[in-house]
Amino acid sequence: MSAATRGRLWRYLPPLLIVLLTVGLRWLRVDHGLPAFEEEALPFRKSFALWGWEGDGWHANPHYFNYPSLTLYLQHLGQWAHYLWGTLTGQFASRADYWLSYIIDPTASVILARLMGIAADTAAALAVWKLGERWHRGTGLMAGLLTALAPTLVRTGSSVYTDNPMAALVLWSLVMTVLWRDGKAPRHLVAAGVLAGLAAGAKYPGAVVLLPLGYALWAELGWRHGLRLWLGASLLAGGVFFLSSPFILLDFQAFWHDFTFERAHMAEGHLGTGGQLSHFRVLDTVRWNLGWLLALLLVPGLLAPLTRWQPRLAAFWDRLGLTQPAGASIVMWYVVISGAMLVGFRMFSERYLVALIPLLALVAAKTGLDLARRWLPERTPWLIWPVAAALLVGPVLAGTQAARSTGLTTRTLAQQWMESNLGDDVLIVQEGYGATVRTFDEQQVTQRHPMFTEASPDLQARYAEQPVFRSVSIPMVASGSLVVHVREGGQSRPLVVWPRGTDANEIFYYRELYKGADFFVTSSAMRARYLQEPDRFPRQMALYYWLSEVGKVAVAFAPRGPVTGPNLTVYDLRDQYLPPGEFPPLLWLDSLPEAFRRDLADRLGGGVTPETIPPDVWPGVLGDPYARFIQPFQLKMARNLADLGNLESAVAYAEAIVAMNPSHAPAANLGAWCANKLGRPAQAADLARRCLEAGPKPAQLTKNLQWYVDRGRN
């Protein structure tokens, strides 16, 4: 084989191997979990709403800015491609068919959506290969293989997240920055700025890549000229960012609301995890992805840039054989800045490291191969290949194990158990992150949707055949605070209800609320958090104790082996004697903080004390958060309880709704019907009267409500 042939082989074979390994490992699990679609997948779900299924027509405004919009638009393009292909092949006769097909079985749509993550990981692996090969031959190959094998990237790259596209764009922006540093070609500087803007358009932290670019410009050109070019590159990146997410400017108020919420979410942690920083979990995730040996090699590798300012340390590093290649400081700047951000978060997910792991793999690969070249005998240079293979053993095992994981979760197992053991004649109440079952409420919404009537009859029949449960999920506040506005002196002034929004979750943990439930499902995603601070969450503790006392554990699901997800415990409450399920209509007001009651009493004046706040004040003060947060839950409980014949509990929920929202005609009508069935015409008439007095209603509801009023008079 000639030298030219060997050169071409070395040029094309390593990247081809990296591409095949990256794609292959992720393709093995591209259908994981399906048809159950439990992952967050916000880029896909939010882009699916752009179709305008609710009758408002197609629109480009996502009305969601916790993430920027680039990945949403890319996903939307994929959805259009799927729809057009399905139309050409006869799979979809209309948009309605596409919509209902996704609801029945999202497998095809989700697999297509997951291809974006696979493509992004492939680009990321090629980026570190290119960087590594500029440092030393073989370093890029090993770094690319480590990136392809990294279990975190295998799992996230075969799912739908914003992190993987952001990582690919960040890494290629770094590549362009290094290329500019070496050749000073303007096109590389422009490319670095464009890619930085796209990275921020995929996920806001992608903008951090502008800082290493600024360092490179300063180091090469001095601070004056470097600053001018950096500002120009930053303006270019900003322009690209706003082009990829234009409604950040066009709908700025909505953007600021979502952005500040997400910032608070990251600062406080999910469900307000408080003072627990993420550093230990970050380190453990790095160890899991690289293996112990490569993770330890990161220490001298990350310290190498310090040798630039410490001559003695530089000499020691030279004796070890650790070199400082051109452009390495640019990479290190990004690693240090991103790493500092991650360890400072109160919230952690392994996907937050997706952009960092390939660069850490690059540093570890370089350090390991440098040490091997320095200390292996000169006569046996071929020994470097067995050394590299030994370093890859741990990542190979971890990566292949991640690729073989089926995506089976405890939530899916709970769903399968319910489908085998429960019917539609029991009421299931679930904490957040419980079993993913289709509910009667969801079925009614779907079947009343205009798209449903436009869909093909065979699809409608397939939808009707799917199992449906009377299941209600308990709402939750994950972070932030709850603030209302009160009129004072002719002006609207903010008043904090719950400084820590997660404290509001206790509203749903009064045991009186669930005496009509047949099954109750607790999830460690919620329960474990509350158990961390039992003194802060006494209402939750009381409910868990009550469940253990009056219920029996029907089944429990725990993550072990290939099964992931939260611990789920299903309590059977059917065989236990429980008193009638009535409760005071405004029971949840007992959870209001005393500080809020005092502030509200002071605002009301007139000698009102926290204990004597008139009941008619609450709808005006708390009506908006009640309507968004509490009322939907109460209405679902009322409807399901009434359908199952538990009329006393259904009346209690209807009374609770009318107490806060007297104009809610469906709740008043349902409550009046239940009360009348129970032989309480006076209660039925009272519910109907209050609703009618609150304002005009549709003709049929007015007729129904008036009937109960007239019957109560007789």
Q: Are residues 85 and 188 in the same domain?
A: no
**Residue 129 maps to a domain:** no
Among candidate residues 184, 216, 250, the one where a domain is terminated: 250
Q: Which domain, by its residues, includes 76? A: 42-105
CB count in 10 Å sphere of residue 88: 9
Look at residue 272 in the predicted model and tell me its pLDDT. Answer: 58
Q: Are residues 423 and 548 in the same domain?
A: yes
Among candidate residues 561, 579, 597, the one where a domain is terminated: 579
Q: Are residues 101 and 195 in the same domain?
A: no
E-assigned strand segments in 425-509: 427-430, 470-473, 482-488, 491-498
Among candidate residues 528, 552, 579, the one where a domain is terminated: 579
Look at residue 609 in the predicted model and tell me its pLDDT. Answer: 82
Q: Are residues 441 and 528 in the same domain?
A: yes
Low-confidence ranges of the chain (pLDDT < 50): 275
**Residue 175 maps to a domain:** yes
**Residue 112 maps to a domain:** no
DSSP type of residue 475: P
pTM assigned to the model: 0.88
Instruction: Tell me the C-alpha distance between 694 and 672, whole Å.
Output: 16
Distances (CA, A) of 389 to 105, 142, 145, 646: 42, 9, 11, 66
Q: Are residues 442 and 523 in the same domain?
A: yes
Look at residue 108 in the predicted model and tell me its pLDDT. Answer: 94
Instruction: Tell me the C-alpha distance between 673 and 669, whole Å.
Output: 6
Q: Are residues 418 and 548 in the same domain?
A: yes
Overall number of domains in the chain: 3
Look at residue 153 in the predicted model and tell me its pLDDT. Answer: 95
Q: Can you give the C-alpha Rg of the chain in angstroms? A: 30
Q: Are residues 192 and 97 in the same domain?
A: no
Whether 438 contacts 606, CB under 8 Å:
no
**Residue 214 maps to a domain:** yes
Look at residue 489 in the predicted model and tell me its pLDDT. Answer: 65
Look at residue 44 in the predicted model and tell me its pLDDT. Answer: 95
**Residue 468 maps to a domain:** yes
* Arithmetic mean of pLDDT over the chain: 87
Q: Are residues 99 and 202 in the same domain?
A: no
Q: Are residues 415 and 547 in the same domain?
A: yes
What residue type is assigned to position 431 of the chain?
Answer: E
Query: Nearest-CA neighbor of 201 among 360, 39, 359, 43?
Result: 43
Q: Are residues 86 and 222 in the same domain?
A: no
Q: Are residues 222 and 94 in the same domain?
A: no
Query: Nearest-CA neighbor of 414 among 518, 547, 569?
Result: 569
Look at residue 620 in the predicted model and tell me its pLDDT. Answer: 86
**Residue 489 maps to a domain:** no
Q: Are residues 434 and 532 in the same domain?
A: yes
**Residue 55 maps to a domain:** yes
**Residue 213 maps to a domain:** yes
